[in-house]
Structure formats: structure tokens, C-alpha cells
A = this chain, B = another copy of it.
């Protein structure tokens, strides 16, 4: 179902721009408003014909949908502004966000005057790119991707439906999860891999001859470290917002790595081979798209 009101994108970056591009191209929204403190990002969005107007609309109403697409730690501030903008949260509009961590967002929403707004549906599209900025926006960024919503019991059914419609119109597959489960699983499949990739590149960068070292890297290294080219601001926010879960899964990995280190150091080929075979089997069997290269 298409949106009768306005689609308001707060945060004119890769994700916000891609939502605007997809919603327009696929006929979900006919009028898109961009909000961002960075005027040049808004101008770029207007120039790319992604935005019809810019600046916070004064008269948000029940037909409008607001998507908060800022870095994770900026979401609570936007929620507070939307709560302060009128008697009803966001003028009665449906509001969602795209932050990679949900517990801090939900806590902030629950802490608003009147508690968790019934029109707020926390969300997370599991999609992205190591590229950033509205100039990298793509209408098909969410096609075939998973989007997780973490609504509260009190969340309005209509708001839930509307946010689900948005993502399905963009080609995504929508499901719902418990907030803590979401953050724990994402710490494992996304946040920890990013931390490892950043750490590896940083460790090698400390070598005096690191340029020559990187020059000998092949495709495996390039793929492994691709996520270390991600936006540093976004990721610093993620690690701040989901620190406890990230540290927890990092500690489990460090135990596992310590065992592997012992097997390598003591030359226990049989035990090492067993671990490597098990990991290969797991990945081949369970990682989506593992056979596509």
C-alpha cells in the first residue's frame, strides 16, 4: 500500500537516500521531505531528485511517515524533538528508525514524557554498504534484504503495518524480534566482524612497511577487510550503543581464538583440522548466499 501523506527522511545519508530513492521509484511515496543539519547533503538529495522539499515539516499529521536515518546515537535526540513538536508524538505521524542497535533507541523512546510513543516502530534494515553519503544512494539497496522490527506491545497495529508496507514496497523481507535478541545476534553477525576487520587493518597499519604488506594482499584479504572501509562515525556509535553485547561475544571469540592459538603453537594438526572443517561445514550450510561469488 502506498503512503497518502509525506515521507519524511531525517538524515540524508546512504540509508535515508536509498529509502527515498526506492520509495519514489517503486511508487510507495509521492512526496519526500529531507531533514538534515548538513545543507550540502540536502542539496545533493534535491539535485538527485530524491527529495521534493527540505527542512522539518511544521505540521506533521497521522498520514505522514517519519524515518529517522541518522547515526545510532543521534536517534534519541530526534525522538525528543518529535515528542516536543506538539501535543501528540510527531503530530500523530508514524515514526520508525533504521539504527543498527535497538536497545538504546527503545530505552530513549520509553523515557519520553508519556513513555514509549504508540506510533513509534523501531526498525533495522540489515543492509548497507561500506560506502556512505546520499550520493551513494541506490533504489535497490533493500531488495531481498531482511528488515527487523522490534515493536513494543503498546505499539499501534496501524503504525506497524505502515512501516512493514514501507519496507515491503522497497523489496525487503520484514520480521519482528525481541529487542535484546536483536542486539545480541547483530553483535555476533555484524558488530564483531566489523570490530575485527577494523582491528586487523589497524594492526597491520602499525607496521613500518605497511604499504608493501597491503600490496601483497589478495582477494581474501580485500573481502575480509571490506567492512573496515565503513563509515567510522556510524560504527563508533554502534560500538557505544551495543558495547555490552559486543564485549560479550568478543570475549567468547577470544576464548576460541586462544584455543586455536594453542593448537597452532603446539602443532596439533588433527584438532586444528577438526575445527577448520567444522567451520567450513557450518558456513557452507548456513550462511545465506554462501555459494554465490
Q: Which residues of A contact B (CB under 8 A)?
A: 126-128, 130, 145-146, 148, 185-186, 188-190, 192-207, 210-233, 235-237, 239-240, 243, 246-247, 249-254, 256-257, 260-261, 263-265, 267, 269, 272-273, 275-280, 282-284, 286-290, 293
With beta carbons under 8 angstroms apart, the residue of B128, B211, B220, B267 that contacts A286 is B211
Q: Which residues of B contact A276 (CB under 8 A)?
A: 198, 232, 235-236
- Min CB gap A213→B, angstroms: 5
Contact across chains for A247 and B265 when beta carbons are under 8 A apart: yes
Closest-by-CB residue of B relative to A265 is B247
Contact across chains for A198 and B269 when beta carbons are under 8 A apart: no
CA distance A244 to B138 in the complex (A): 46
Among A203, A217, A228, A278: residue with most chain B CB under 10 A: A217
**Smallest CB-CB A-B distances: 4 pairs:** A214-B286, A232-B276, A236-B273, A232-B277
Q: Which residues of B contact A243 (CB under 8 A)?
A: 264-265, 267
Q: Which residues of B contact A280 (CB under 8 A)?
A: 198, 201, 228-232
Contact across chains for B200 and A213 when beta carbons are under 8 A apart: no
